[in-house]
Amino acid sequence: MSFNEKIEKYADLAVRVGINIQKDQTLYIRTPMHAAAFVRVVAKKAYEAGAKHVRVEWNDEELTKIKYQHAPQEAFSEFPQWQADVLVKEAEHNAAFLSIAGSDPDLLKGIDPERIAAANKASGQANSTFRRYIQSDKVSWSIVAVPSEKWAEKVFPDKQGEQAIDALWEAIFAATRIHEQDPIVAWQDHLALLDEKMVTLNEKRFHALHYTSDKTDLTIELPPTHIWASGGSTSKAGVDFVANMPTEEVFTAAQKDGVNGTVASTKPLNYGGTLITNFTLTFKNGQVVDFSAEEGEETLKRLLETDEGSRSIGEVALVPHRSPISNTNLIFYNTLFDENASNHLALGSAYAFNIKGGKDMNEEELNDAGINQSITHVDFMMGSAEMNIDGIHQDGTKEAVFRNGEWAI
């Protein structure tokens, strides 16, 4: 199979399975400029599948870096409201949203963490309405990746330029099952297997999960009405879509005040262009009360200070250690991939659909139901081949869920 044939299959997968574009629907793409060639292929596939419009929001990493280096401090506390309003307007008209990842993991290395924190907070506040559309599955949305040179060279430090990009493309193709004869059928089969785990966990109705490994001893209570979800989702309009491509996870929400113990990261976290490595978080009654990091500790501190909910866990995701992504033995320095090679948690907001009736609740009702609310949602990886997880029932009895990094149910 030639490279162009793989790109065609990848774009087709993003359009037909990722966002599952519908006739006369608008596709809104948010993308870095280096992905322009791929975006054109996606646009062609979308129109062929019946899309009425394909609209593209471009971003340029070099301009982003220049702003962080030279703009006045007050610029980072402002966000163009019109830009956030465009997303809401498109969502109100049932557009589908495709985001393309592929940023330089070290883009903002050396930048004042206060600037990064201020910019992330301003963006989070401005986009709060659109975020509710996404986190309640009111629209179809998906994330795929396209290599940039800096990202590829970070993943493959022994390669340079096009050689590194080619190697990262092949890793992406492997992780997204593009090498299969029919990737769409392969994805349908994969999603069915994830659904089996989802059904089993929903039948168990665990009160809590207890995680243990060499550096982690953490108990996470689950809301009484929690719902486990898998890789596939359904929008308010009844359209099936896959939010993350790749995906290997089954996930739910944490009880916001029911997290206790210590958790250690197992992969680097790329947060807003800065890497946070080898960090630990200690929780008491749902709040981070202590933390440390080998690299990026000040950035981690700023993340935890984003708002009231940024020190609590929103999402709880289970991922077996052995998967197409994990089997590459690569650290991608990109959460889309690394989170799907490892059990992970998310600081910040939970997904509304992870509790019964949550899609139709407002923020106050979600808060009363026990799930965390925040303007941020940051996944971090904490699974390993040594991790054991026990499900705790209401009567205190325990049942193995993971043993040595793999499913035990």
pLDDT at residue 261 greater than cutoff 90: yes
Rounded-to-integer distance, Cα 164 and Cα 168, Å: 6
93/233 same-domain check:
no
Q: Give 149-186 pLDDT, tens digit per residue.
A: 999 999 999 999 999 999 999 999 999 999 998 999 99
Same domain, 194 and 134: no
Amino acid in the structure at residue 117: A
Residue 16 has a pLDDT of: 96
189 & 167 share domain: no
Domain of residue 57: give its range.
1-178
What value does the mean pLDDT take over residues 32-55?
Answer: 98
Q: What is the average per-residue pLDDT within 379-398? A: 96
- Same domain? For 135 and 254 the reply is no
Within this chain, do residues 249 and 365 fall inside the same structural domain, yes or no?
A: yes
Residues 59-108: tens digit of each pLDDT: 999 999 999 999 999 999 999 999 999 999 999 999 999 999 999 999 99
343 and 294 in one domain?
Answer: yes
Last residue of a domain, one of 123, 146, 178: 178
pLDDT at residue 325, as a whole number? 87
CATH number at residue 68: 3.40.1830.10
Of 178, 193, 208, at which residue does a domain stop? 178
Asked if the model's pLDDT at residue 138 lies above 90, the reply is yes
pLDDT confidence of 359, banded at 50, 70, 90? confident
pLDDT for res 135: 87
Same domain, yes or no: 186 and 169 = no
One domain for residues 232 and 319: yes
Looking at residue 328, what is its pLDDT? Answer: 84
> Is the Cβ–Cβ distance between 309 and 377 less than 8 Å?
no
Distance of CA 206 to the CA centre of its chain: 24
Instruction: Please state at what angle helix 113-126 crosses helix 297-304, rounded to 10 degrees.
Output: 30
Asked if residue 234 and residue 186 are part of one domain, the reply reads: yes
Q: Are residues 194 and 296 in the same domain?
A: yes
In the chain, % of residues over pLDDT 90: 91
Number of domains in the chain: 2
Same-domain status, 110 and 199? no
Which residue(s) pair with 141 in the sheet? Answer: 97
Q: Which of 162, 261, 173, 171 is nearest to 209 (CA)?
A: 261
Tens-digit pLDDT profile for residues 103-128? 999 999 999 999 999 999 999 999 99
Question: For 301-346, how does the pLDDT look when each residue is reduced to its tens digit (9 = 90+)?
Answer: 999 999 999 999 999 999 998 887 888 889 999 989 998 988 999 9
Question: What pLDDT score was predicted for residue 55?
Answer: 98
> Among 136, 152, 178, where does a domain finish?
178
Instruction: Encode pLDDT of 269-308 as tens digits.
Output: 999 888 999 999 999 999 999 999 999 999 999 999 999 9
Burial class (CB in 10 A: 0-12, 13-18, 19+), 110: exposed
pLDDT in tens, 239-250: 999 999 999 999
Q: In a 10 Å sphere around its CB, with 0-12 CB exposed, 13-18 middle and 19+ buried, how is residue 238 labelled?
A: exposed
Report how far apart the first and last C-alpha atoms of the chain are (Å, whole number). 37
Both 291 and 193 in one domain: the answer is yes
